[in-house]
Amino acid sequence: MVELQLISLASIGVVSLICQWVAWRLRLPAILFLLIAGIVMGPGIGYLDPDLLFGDLLFPIVSLAVAVILFEGSLTLKFSEMQEHGKMVRNLLFTGAFTTWIVGAIAAYLAIDLSWEVAALFGAIVVVTGPTVIMPLLRAIRPNGRIGNILKWEGIVIDPLGALLAVLVFEFVLSSSSAGEGNALSQTFMIFGATLILSTTLGVAAGYVLGAALRGRWIPQFLQNAATLTFMLGVYAYSNFMVHESGLLTITIMGIWLANMKGVPVDEILEFKESLSVLLISGLFILLAARIDLGSLTSLGMGPVWVILTLILVARPVSVWLAAIGTDLSWQEKTFLSWVAPRGIVAAAVSALFAFKLEAAGYADASALVPLVFLVIVVTVILQSLTSSALATVLKVREVASNGMLFIGANAVAREVAKALSIKDIPVVLTDTSWENVRAARMDNLRVYYGNPVSEHAENNLDLTGIGTTIAISPYRQLNTLATYHYMDLMGSDNVYGLSEGEQDARASHQSAEKFKRTRSQFDNSVTYAKLASLLSKGATVKVTQLSAEFGYQDYLAQNGSRVTPLLAISPQRKVLPLGGEGSVIPVEGWEVLSLVKAQEPAEEPTNGK
């Protein structure tokens, strides 16, 4: 029996990994494949029964997992950043979210005949979209920069805000159920008020204590992530002990306080989320999907269809057009925004937990909450993944060109090349983990990202609008390799370039994939970062030269001889391509050549006959 349980647990991990890989290859949200896998393993073939596998521990496990998800999401809610994302995003976060909540609740109440409490909670849950479903769609669709930024920041910030709304509605519903008969309304507000007071007080106090400990370096670096996680779970459990089911609101407030506390290294904590979320969330969704009662969904008849149509065709368009009042968005942009709103992680996670607790509180119709929310997720993700690209093309809101270049490194070499491209109106973005390099790039008026270019934070915050190629030009071989593989998946192997690593590259060439080796053969083998940095330190400069019918590429090389190190060619269409390597382009009339040119040697002084 124990062996069978171990096999079941291990299979959840294996299947979740396969789902994540398939989603990565297809550039679709992983949640879609995780939910489908759970339904197949559970009600589909009857292989996985979470209640039998975990017994009484299932509910605590789900509770703790949802607490982690909400806490991690709340850590991203920085009020200072909300002012930076434009009027449209702010309106969507408040006016749009309120509209979706009300319309979704009314639709569920009328079409499925849910109680007003469960319907209100459903409306609050489906407010959330989330970056886990938005970001893969944006990478596949590549809309113009304005639309991309609106959808990206809406998805990132609506996660904690929507979760907070859902938790508040849930707490109010539980308060009303606990009030009993008699003066129910006043008792409801008393219980709800007690929950708010405790959650706010405990959340702020716990956030301040943890923030002070992290800011003061009272906890060693290697224990910070573990200490944050365990402290948060302890606060969650204690809050629930003090006031029934107040823990979710407490840790959400705690996370928001931490995110807005000055000097707290929140980004370092969020990096821990990357590994934790893949393991925890993937397994959680398979378990939750395996518990779905398909019979309860079919018993609802056509009700879910009307609810989903109302969310897609009424709630979202009304939200967008109301939020767009006073902005300069075109009708095409507003139409596209009205179509794209897939639901994601928070909606799936909290719906299962809330359904558990509402059923225990006596709400029989809460059993419809999970299948209904999961159906909304599946339909919106599939429908919008299949249609959004075509719609963007029809509405002409796709990115016109992606000729810009992403530089892995903001060192002096990268900055000089980037400045030369920027003068030619070619978009450039530089990334670096060195604050000195980042500051120097900003002084040169270059777009720059401070941080690890292959992290989840970069995925959500690195603006790649207009960027279609990547060049790894940092002095760190390991970072160059990681970034090359990362952006080969994102931009295609033909659009990622890297400098030769010299002898190290030659020794390791037999261990490299063919696609990776091709990225290192686009420049001459002698062109290494060390060589370019040395030339630059000795006075070499980056110059761009126009080719003509009378002065071709070979003439250019012959005239400059060993003084010139060709790097890039710029086509008349502003496409940037590498020079000097195997099979690299040969620029012709109308093209421009970007090279590093040595300083002119001074003429020899006369020796006066000596």
* 371 lies in the same domain as 459: no
Report the CATH number that the domain containing residue 422 is assigned in CATH. 3.40.50.720
pLDDT per position as a tens digit, 43-66: 888 888 888 888 888 888 878 887
| Over residues 529-533, mean pLDDT | 88
User: Per the structure block, which two tokens stand in for 278?
Assistant: 């893949």
Tell me, yes or no, whether 35 lies in a domain.
no
Tell me, yes or no, whether 16 lies in a domain.
no
Tell me, yes or no, whether 23 lies in a domain.
no
* 505 lies in the same domain as 559: yes
* 340 lies in the same domain as 430: no
- Give the per-residue pLDDT at 370: 83
43 secondary structure, DSSP code = I
- Give the per-residue pLDDT at 172: 83
CA distances, 230 to each of 192, 225, 268, 284, 375 (Å): 27, 9, 16, 19, 33
181 against 207, higher pLDDT: 207
Tell me, yes or no, whether 478 lies in a domain.
yes
- Give the per-residue pLDDT at 464: 81
* 141 lies in the same domain as 290: yes
- Give the per-residue pLDDT at 509: 44
pLDDT surpasses 80 at 72: no
Q: Are strands 564-570 and 576-578 parallel, antiparallel or unpaired?
A: antiparallel
- Give the per-residue pLDDT at 320: 93
Which of 136, 144, 139, 150 is CA-nearest to residue 393? 144
* 478 lies in the same domain as 349: no
User: Per the structure block, which two tokens stand in for 273?
Assistant: 């989320």
> How far is residue 214's CA from residue 206's CA, in Å, rounded to a whole number?
12
8: burial class by Cβ within 10 Å (0-12, 13-18, 19+)?
Answer: middle
* 370 lies in the same domain as 490: no
> How far is residue 146's CA from residue 586's CA, in Å, rounded to a whole number?
36
* 383 lies in the same domain as 426: no
> How far is residue 217's CA from residue 383's CA, in Å, rounded to a whole number?
48
Range 203-242 burial, b when 16+ CB lie within 10 A, else e: beebbeebbebbeeeebeeeebbebbbebbbebbeebbee
Q: Across-strand partners of 564?
A: 597
> How far is residue 522's CA from residue 72's CA, in Å, rounded to a whole number?
41
Tell me, yes or no, whether 116 lies in a domain.
yes
| Over residues 486-510, mean pLDDT | 70
Contact 407, 417 (CB under 8 A): yes
- Give the per-residue pLDDT at 202: 93
- Give the per-residue pLDDT at 271: 62
Tell me, yes or no, whether 168 lies in a domain.
yes
- Give the per-residue pLDDT at 167: 80
- Give the per-residue pLDDT at 458: 81
Q: Across-strand partners of 578?
A: 568
Average pLDDT across the chain, whole number: 82
Please state the domain count of the chain.
2
* 441 lies in the same domain as 514: yes
- pTM, two decimal places: 0.73
- Among residues 395, 419, 451, the one where a domain terminates is 395
pLDDT per position as a tens digit, 212-229: 988 888 888 778 888 888
- Give the per-residue pLDDT at 316: 94
Domain that holds residue 592: 404-597
* 449 lies in the same domain as 318: no
596 secondary structure, DSSP code = E
Which range among 314-318, 553-557, 565-569 has the greatest average pLDDT? 314-318
- Give the per-residue pLDDT at 186: 73
| 94 Cβ contact partners less than 8 Å away, ≥ 6 residues apart | none
* 430 lies in the same domain as 367: no
Residue ranges in 180-265 assigned as alpha helix (H)? 184-215, 224-242, 247-259
Contact 352, 368 (CB under 8 A): no
Q: Measured over all CA atoms, what is the biggest interatomic distance in the chain, rounded to whole angstroms?
A: 118
Give the confidence band of 418 by pLDDT, cuts at 50, 70, 90. Answer: very high
pLDDT per position as a tens digit, 265-298: 777 676 666 566 667 778 888 888 888 777 766 7
pLDDT per position as a tens digit, 388-405: 888 998 998 887 667 889
500 secondary structure, DSSP code = B
pLDDT per position as a tens digit, 425-444: 888 999 998 899 999 999 99
pLDDT per position as a tens digit, 139-195: 778 787 788 878 887 887 787 777 778 888 887 888 777 655 545 567 667 777 888
* 69 lies in the same domain as 205: yes
Contact 251, 200 (CB under 8 A): no
265 against 572, higher pLDDT: 572
Report the CATH number that the domain containing residue 79 is assigned in CATH. 1.20.1530
pLDDT per position as a tens digit, 102-122: 999 999 999 988 889 899 999
pLDDT surpasses 90 at 339: yes
- Among residues 338, 363, 395, the one where a domain terminates is 395
User: Per the structure block, which two tokens stand in for 293?
Assistant: 């009662």
108 against 23, higher pLDDT: 108
Give the confidence band of 322 by pLDDT, cuts at 50, 70, 90. Answer: very high
* 299 lies in the same domain as 195: yes
Tell me, yes or no, whether 186 lies in a domain.
yes
The lowest-confidence range among 168-177, 412-421, 584-593 is: 168-177
Contact 131, 159 (CB under 8 A): yes
Contact 576, 568 (CB under 8 A): yes
- Give the per-residue pLDDT at 180: 57
- Among residues 341, 368, 395, the one where a domain terminates is 395
Tell me, yes or no, whether 249 lies in a domain.
yes
pLDDT surpasses 70 at 80: no
- Give the per-residue pLDDT at 441: 92
How many other C-beta atoms can be found within 10 angstroms of the C-beta atom of residue 55?
A: 9
